[in-house]
Amino acid sequence: MVDLNALEAIVSELLSLYEIAAPPIPIESILQSPKDDMWDEIDVTQISGSFFKVGAGYSARMSMARVLARHISSSEWGQMRGLGSIRSDEAMLQAFARMMVMPASMILELKDNVRTPELLGAHFEVPPEEARLRLDDLTRYAPLP
């Protein structure tokens, strides 16, 4: 079973492969333009609108991040990194999706007073509730730098 630090390492690898240094993380571009031998491209226009949770601002981004988490975990690339074990673990898939849009390395670069759900939500373009859950995730383990 993959742990949260291993997921953070995979997110760091993705950031490096896609040369992403600052938020917002281009989730849709990652889905549509996988690097060679990563996973099959997804046509996001073919994803049902009923799939997306609509409500708070940026909730569609989180839905897209969950699509990406599921897609990566079922890909050969993801399975080579031990992600096959999270496909049936909804809590880990949710945590992985939050990690991808709010990487620990980027959160930890911010000053403590900026690490509030509302400010993180605006900074990473996610709903504040998802930012709160991400902050909760980070208190449960010590992410690797």
pLDDT tens figures, 67-112: 999 999 999 999 999 999 998 999 999 999 999 999 999 999 999 9
Give the Cα separation of 6 and 26 in Å (integer). Answer: 21
Report yes or no: 100 and 11 within 8 Å, Cβ to Cβ. yes
pLDDT band at 48; cut points 50, 70, 90: very low
